[in-house]
């Protein structure tokens, strides 16, 4: 993938405006989903949809390699709501 280049959306991906506003921490290259719209303050423990949690500010921002499939699945079960 070339930085700055638009990537084609996967089939079935309707754009997910709601999800684009969600705080999605990248942990070890895996991008997770949270219930937060924006990043809470440092030190806040954020529950991720897949059941993991993440302490905001505990890690350096990482480059996203792929999305957490478990988080995506939970999002799907919620009918696309983040
Ligand atoms: Zn996850």
Residue 67 alpha carbon to ligand 1 centre in Å:
8
The answer to whether the Cα torsion of 10, 20, 17, 53 is positive or negative is positive
DSSP state at residue 10: P
What are phi and psi for residue 72, nearest 5 degrees? -65, -40
With contact defined as beta carbons under 8 Å apart, do 75 and 57 qualify? no
Residue 24 alpha carbon to ligand 1 centre in Å:
9
Block residue for tokens 């079960």: 77
pTM: 0.70
CB hemisphere CA count around 68 (13 angstroms): 21
Q: What would the pLDDT profile of 2-60 be if each residue is shown by its tens digit?
A: 566 555 555 555 544 445 678 999 999 999 999 999 989 999 999 999 999 999 998 88
Residue 32 alpha carbon to ligand 1 centre in Å:
4
Block residue for tokens 């993938």: 1
Residue 21 alpha carbon to ligand 1 centre in Å:
16
Residue 38 alpha carbon to ligand 1 centre in Å:
16
Q: What would the pLDDT profile of 21-33 be if each residue is shown by its tens digit?
A: 789 999 999 999 9
């Amino acid at each position: 993938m070339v930085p700055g280049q638009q990537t084609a959306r996967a089939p079935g991906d309707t754009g997910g405006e709601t999800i684009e506003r969600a705080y999605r921490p990248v942990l070890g290259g895996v991008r997770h989903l949270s219930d937060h719209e924006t990043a809470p303050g440092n030190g806040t423990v954020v529950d991720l949809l897949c059941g993991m949690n993440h302490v905001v500010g505990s890690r350096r921002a990482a480059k996203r390699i792929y999305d957490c499939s478990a988080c995506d699945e939970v999002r799907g079960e919620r009918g696309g709501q983040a």
